[in-house]
């Protein structure tokens, strides 16, 4: 599923975000930036502990902030650590939307052209995929429609069927696709 917005595209894919060949992948982080389970654990296993070490030097951060690190051994050049929850591991649609906007602002500042994101907050944060999809896709589409972005390709890379379906349904609705 793909939607064009100006010179940019937003797409939804099934797969493993650690395999993406993009300028940056997004890690669903907590405010300490320690990389434990879920997406963070997969990124650390494949990309190397150097990613976590780089992140920890920049933290802790507030929920809703994002930091950029090396991609280590990943195909992606960088990892953007999106602090979508605090040490309590709780998050909601507002925090997800704010964190997504912080990721987009950091991507713009660093002139990133391709970005891959997971479904923020749907793992240990226990946010339903439809809620995450609504918050994230609204933020991304709003950012791209505002123009002046370096982003040419934004891909949501979803590991689970329910997240893939929820994000696809939301993109169809927001993009006016029948």
pLDDT at 178: 45
CB atoms closer than 10 angstroms to residue 34 = 15
pLDDT of residue 37: 83
**Single pTM value for the model:** 0.96
pLDDT of 125-176, one tens digit each? 999 999 999 999 999 999 999 988 999 999 999 989 999 999 999 999 988 7
Domain count, the chain: 1
Residue 30 bridge partners (DSSP): 85
Give the domain extent around 65: 2-174
Tell me: the pLDDT tens digits for 46-90? 999 999 999 999 999 999 999 999 999 999 999 999 999 998 989
- What is the CATH number for 49? 3.40.220.10
Q: Do residues 98 and 106 make contact, with C-beta atoms less than 8 angstroms apart? A: no
The per-residue DSSP string of the chain comes to -EEEETTEEEEEEES-GGG--SSEEEEEEETT----SHHHHHHHHHH-HHHHHHHHHT----TT-EEEEE-TTSSSSEEEEEEEE-TT----HHHHHHHHHHHHHHHHHTT--EEEE--TTSSTT---HHHHHHHHHHHHHHHHHH---S--EEEEEE-SHHHHHHHHHHHHHHTT--
Residue with tokens 């599923």: 1
The band of 122, judged by pLDDT with boundaries at 50, 70 and 90, is very high
Digit-coded pLDDT (tens) for 28-50: 999 999 998 888 999 999 999 99
pLDDT digit string (tens) for 102-114?
A: 999 999 999 999 9
């Amino acid at each position: 599923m793909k939607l064009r917005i100006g010179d940019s595209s937003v797409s939804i894919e099934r797969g493993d975000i650690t395999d993406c060949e993009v300028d940056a992948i997004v890690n669903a982080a907590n405010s300490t930036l320690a990389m434990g389970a879920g997406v963070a654990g997969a990124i650390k296993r494949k990309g190397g502990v150097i990613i976590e070490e780089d992140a920890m030097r920049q933290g802790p951060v507030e929920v809703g902030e994002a930091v950029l690190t090396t991609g280590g051994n990943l195909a992606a050049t960088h990892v953007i650590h999106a602090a979508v929850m605090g040490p309590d591991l709780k998050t909601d649609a507002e925090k997800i939307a704010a964190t997504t906007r912080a990721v987009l602002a950091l991507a713009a500042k660093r002139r990133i052209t391709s970005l891959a994101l997971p479904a923020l907050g749907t793992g240990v944060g226990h946010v339903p995929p439809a809620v995450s999809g609504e918050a994230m896709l609204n933020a991304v589409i709003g950012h791209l429609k505002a123009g002046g972005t370096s982003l040419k390709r934004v891909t949501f890379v979803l590991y689970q069927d329910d997240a893939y379906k929820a994000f696809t349904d939301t993109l169809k609705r927001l993009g006016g696709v029948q």
